[in-house]
Structure 1
Amino acid sequence: MSKPEKQFVPLNIAVLTVSDTRNEETDTSGHYLVEALNETGHNLADKKIVIDDVYQMRAAISNWVASSNVQVILVTGGTGFSGRDSTPEAVAPLFDKTIDGYGELFRQISQQDIGTSTIQSRAIAGLANGVVIFCMPGSTNACKTAWQGIIQEQLDARHRPCNFVAQLKKVETEQCESRG
């Protein structure tokens, strides 16, 4: 007897761009992630740009983690080694569990494109309050690598043998109008 076919489950995803120079017009990485998640069938819950400041990042992410409407957070930028890059330091303390394999796999896949420079990527991921958080470099190509090579499948309930969908908090739905 075969297992019943799993259905796609649209998730509510927030996108955070960490940059001292990007704005809504120039945020190509954030726009790519929004376009990719929408094309896949997920929902954009929110999108923000914050400067590379530990406390601004933590505030935005903490609000989403505490929200009843966000299941996934995609963070682009601030994962390198420059003096201002502080995304891992800002986000890692918020994790209940880390997803070590994400950074390892991201660097492995990236090696094909950028060679040994991939060792400078501090891509990280983890779970916080039933929300999965993926942090990736700020370049659009790095976001494509992360989304297409890892994240998209892990956010698809149909992906076997496992994915993160069952680990995520359920989203509150609005009551129908007749119950108001």
Structure 2
Amino acid sequence: MTRIDDSKEFIPVRIAVLTVSDSRSMAEDRSGDTLVARIEKAEHQLADRKIIRDERGEIADQLRAWSLDPEIDVVISTGGTGLTGRDVTVEAHRDVYEKEIEAFGTVFTIVSMQKIGTSAVQSRATGGVANGTYLFALPGSPGACKDAWDEILVHQLDYRHLPCNFVEIFPRLDEHKRRK
């Protein structure tokens, strides 16, 4: 179904990790640690890492800042994708997106169904693009971060992945802004 084209050279991607939590510190951030370990194992670059409270405006501001940073290609957030009143990460992401990647949430749900059954319906994982930067919102559990990375992102963030991947279209994400 998918494969790696070994004739292509690997291109490392610069990734920022944002944990959304009112209670976690860096020392307790198992989900962020899970993502960082996988990013480094895949030989991508950790561009930045922060923890932000469950505040829609603060989350959106950080996403905007990172999407405008030329040293960051991808932002992955973890936490705040559930259904409770404090879960506002998805709304913050959508405040920033220029385009939503609707299939990301669908594919994440399919992957989650295989692991946690119908409980997958409670996740609102999402992905999108802003300012030529990919933005992904994952649930706050280490298991969900593993599933999203291992089953989706590790492939789509690998330039050698066939039949297509996110990396190969980086140069075209903001082409509409360059037209005259």
Task: Tell whether the structures are fold-level matches, with TM greater than 0.5.
Answer: yes
Deviation of 1:4 (Å): 8.4
Q: For the residues of structure 2 that align with 1:95 and 1:58, how far apart are their CA atoms?
A: 10
Partner amino acid for 2:48?
Answer: D
Partner amino acid for 1:120?
Answer: Q
Q: Which residue among 122, 130, 145 is the counterpart of 1:128?
A: 130
CA contact (8 A) 1:37 1:43 kept: yes
Deviation of 1:168 (Å): 2.3
CA contact (8 A) 1:71 1:169 kept: no
Residues 3-36 of structure 1: CA deviation (Å, up to 9, x unaligned): 9821110011000000111101100000111111
Q: For the residues of structure 2 that align with 1:129 and 1:98, how far apart are their CA atoms?
A: 12
Residue in structure 1 matched with residue 42 of structure 2 by the alignment = 40
Higher Cα Rg, which structure: 1
Q: For structure 1, which runs of at least 5 residues remain unmatched after alignment?
A: 171-180
Deviation of 1:169 (Å): 5.3
Residue in structure 2 matched with residue 77 of structure 1 by the alignment = 79
Residue in structure 2 matched with residue 21 of structure 1 by the alignment = 23
Q: For the residues of structure 2 that align with 1:167 and 1:92, how far apart are their CA atoms?
A: 21
| TM-score of the two chains, using structure 1 as the length reference | 0.90
Q: For the residues of structure 2 that align with 1:4 and 1:21, how far apart are their CA atoms?
A: 43
- 1:115 and 2:86 aligned: no
For these two proteins, the number of residue pairs brought into alignment is: 168
Partner amino acid for 1:128?
Answer: A
Residue in structure 2 matched with residue 175 of structure 1 by the alignment = none
Partner amino acid for 2:79?
Answer: G
Q: For the residues of structure 2 that align with 1:112 and 1:159, how far apart are their CA atoms?
A: 23
Residues 95-135 of structure 1: CA deviation (Å, up to 9, x unaligned): 11111111001011101221111111100001111111111
| TM-score of the two chains, using structure 2 as the length reference | 0.90
Report runs of 4+ in structure 1 exceeding 2 Å deviation. Answer: 166-170
Q: For the residues of structure 2 that align with 1:146 and 1:4, how far apart are their CA atoms?
A: 24
Q: For the residues of structure 2 that align with 1:111 and 1:94, how far apart are their CA atoms?
A: 28
Partner amino acid for 1:104?
Answer: T
Partner amino acid for 1:71?
Answer: D
CA contact (8 A) 2:111 2:147 kept: yes
Instruction: Find the residue that maps to 2:28 and give its secondary structure.
Output: coil
Partner amino acid for 1:123?
Answer: A
Q: For the residues of structure 2 that align with 1:59 and 1:12, how far apart are their CA atoms?
A: 19
Q: Give the CA RMSD over aligned residues.
A: 1.5
Q: For structure 2, which runs of at least 5 residues remain unmatched after alignment?
A: 173-180
Q: For the residues of structure 2 that align with 1:24 and 1:123, how far apart are their CA atoms?
A: 22
Q: For the residues of structure 1 that align with 2:64 and 2:22, how far apart are their CA atoms?
A: 20
